[in-house]
Structure 1
C-alpha cells in the first residue's frame, strides 16, 4: 500500500492484491467467529484485525452469522440474515424495476456487480432501523466500529496516500464481490434443512481464499472444525457428507459460473414466506 500510494506500483497491480487480502480477512473473521484459530477469544478477536472492508462491523457480522447458523431457518428471508430471497409481500412491492434487480442478483454476474452495493445498503438500513429503535447493543457495536473505521480511513488516505473513493471502488467493491462469489451457491431451497447447504469441491486459490468454507455443508454440520481440518475430514467422509446434504455438490466455481453466470439459479421469492 505504501508503494501504491507513492505511485511506485501501478493500480492494475496493487488493486487486485489488496482486494484479495481484504476478502481473505473476511474469511479470517469468519473463522474467528467460530472460535479459531486459537483457544483465546480475546486474541482471536485481535487478529481479526481492523475493518479493512470499511462497511462490515465484525461484532454485527458475528451476531448475524451465528443467527444464520440456525439451520432450520436457512434461506428464510425473515430469519436468515444472509438470505437473498424475499417474501411474497416484498416481491409484490418491488415493482418491475425492483424485480429486475432481484432477478439479476440471482445470476452470478449480477451478484458480483450489483451484489456489493445491494448488500451494504440492505445491511446498513437494517442496522440503522435497529439503532433508531434504541437497541443498545447495536449502538455500542457501531460506535466501536465507527472509531475503528475512522482510524483505518486515516491510515489509507493520509498514511498510504490512497484516496478513500478509490479504495472503496477499486478495493472494497471487488473484495465484497469475492465474498459474494463464495456465498452465491452455498444455500438452496429444500424441505430438509440438511439438504440446503452445498459442497463446492474447489481446491485451488479460491479454496484458500475462502479458508475451506466452500465445503459449506460440512461447515454447517460441524462449525467447530477449523478451516485447515475441513478438507481432510471431507476427503475421508465424502460419500457420507454428500448423502447427508442430498447430493448438493458443485465441482468448483467454474461450474458455478457455467451454470449461473447469466441464468438465475432460483426465483427470488421464497415460497414459504408470504410476508
Structure 2
C-alpha cells in the first residue's frame, strides 16, 4: 500500500512538472538577481555586507544553474541554454557544467575515478604514485575544512587541466563551451567595474560561493557496491538546504532528476523508507551534524576503496 502511494505521488508530481509554471524557481531566480544587483549598487564602505550578499546570490545562482540544465525553467533546451550562459560566478561555463553533470547522472558510473566527472576519488594506482606533499594536500581536502578552503583551487585546477587536455586533442565542443562563456564574463566584469565593489572583493565572493557549494558536494556520494547506495540524503531544511535548492535530498534527485527542487522534500517524505532502503541508510540529520563530524576528519579515503580497472 505504501509503495503504491509513493508511485502515485511520484506520477502526480511529474505530471504537475510537465504542465505547470515553476513559480518558486522563478522567485528564487529573482531573489538571486535582486541580492546580486543590490550588492553592486551599495555605496562604498559596505564591503563586508556586499561580500556576504554576493556569496549568497552566487551560491543560489549556481544551484539555479543546476535546475536550468535539468529543464527547470523552460521546456526548450535552447532557451535554458541562453538563460544559463550568463554565469556571474565566472569560473565555470554553463555548457561545460551541463555536459559534465549530465554525464555524472549515469548512476552506474557514480564515484568512478574516470567515468564520473564529479567523482572525488582517485584510481588507487594513481594515488600510490603521488608525491607525499600531494597526498597530504588531497588528504586535507577530504576533510570539510580542507574542502571549503583549498577545495575550490584543487577542483578548478583539475577541471581546467582536463579541459585543456581535451581542447589539445581537438574536442571543439569544449572550446566552443568556453567561448560561449566569455560574453557573460565580460558583461559581469564590466558591471562590477561600474560598481563600488573592488574586483578583488568580487573574485573572493566567487571563491566564497564555490566554498559554500563544497559543503553540499562534500559527501553527496560514497563508494558502494550498489549504485543506489551511493547518493546521500541530508534531512536539512535550513538556509543551506535553500541555497542548495534541496539537493541535500540527493538520492531523491538522482532517482527523479526532472522533479523540481521544491517538490523533493515532499517526495522524500512520501517514500522515506523506500529511499533509505535503496541508498542503504546513507543519511544525515543536518548539515550541522556533518560540520561537527567531519570538520577536521576525513569521511573517505582519497583512493577509491572499491574501484577495479575495467579490464580486470
In the superposition, the TM-score normalised over structure 1's length comes to 0.94
Is 2:69 aligned against 1:33? yes
Match among 9, 16, 19 for residue 52 of structure 2: 16
Contact 2:111/2:222 (<8 A) preserved:
yes
Contact 2:246/2:264 (<8 A) preserved:
yes
The corresponding residue for 1:3 is 41
The corresponding residue for 1:166 is 201
Moved beyond 4 Å, runs of 4+:
none
Q: How much has 1:34 moved relative to structure 2?
A: 0.8
Measure, in 1, the Cα distance between the counterparts of 2:99 and 2:164: 15
Higher-Rg member (1/2): 2
Give the 3-state SS of the residue equivalent to 1:228 in structure 2: helix
Higher relative contact order (CA 8 A, sep 6+): 1
Measure, in 2, the Cα distance between the counterparts of 1:13 and 1:92: 45
1:143-154 aligned at under 5 Å gives the runs 143-154=179-190
Q: How much has 1:150 moved relative to structure 2?
A: 1.9
What are the ranges of 5 or more consecutive residues in structure 1 without an aligned counterpart?
none
Give the 3-state SS of the residue equivalent to 1:211 in structure 2: coil
Aligned length: 271
Q: Give deviations 1:63-84, integer Å, cap 9, x for gaps.
A: 0001111111111111111111
Measure, in 1, the Cα distance between the counterparts of 2:261 and 2:66: 10
Taking only aligned residues, the RMSD between alpha carbons, in angstroms, comes to 1.6
Give the 3-state SS of the residue equivalent to 1:229 in structure 2: helix
Q: Give deviations 1:244-274, integer Å, cap 9, x for gaps.
A: 1111100010111121110110110013146
Measure, in 2, the Cα distance between the counterparts of 1:146 and 1:47: 14
Contact 2:68/2:80 (<8 A) preserved:
yes
The corresponding residue for 2:295 is 261
The corresponding residue for 1:61 is 97
Measure, in 2, the Cα distance between the counterparts of 1:166 and 1:129: 31
1:92-241 aligned at under 5 Å gives the runs 92-157=128-193, 159-169=194-204, 171-241=205-275
Query: Cα–Cα, structure 1 residues 270 and 18, in superposed 2: closer, same or farther, change >3 Å?
Result: same
Give the 3-state SS of the residue equivalent to 1:101 in structure 2: helix
What are the ranges of 5 or more consecutive residues in structure 2 without an aligned counterpart?
1-38
Is 2:285 aligned against 1:242? no
Contact 1:76/1:273 (<8 A) preserved:
no
Measure, in 1, the Cα distance between the counterparts of 2:85 and 2:163: 22
Measure, in 2, the Cα distance between the counterparts of 1:99 and 1:19: 30
Measure, in 2, the Cα distance between the counterparts of 1:222 and 1:242: 15
Measure, in 2, the Cα distance between the counterparts of 1:239 and 1:48: 35
Contact 1:37/1:226 (<8 A) preserved:
no
Measure, in 1, the Cα distance between the counterparts of 2:111 and 2:296: 21
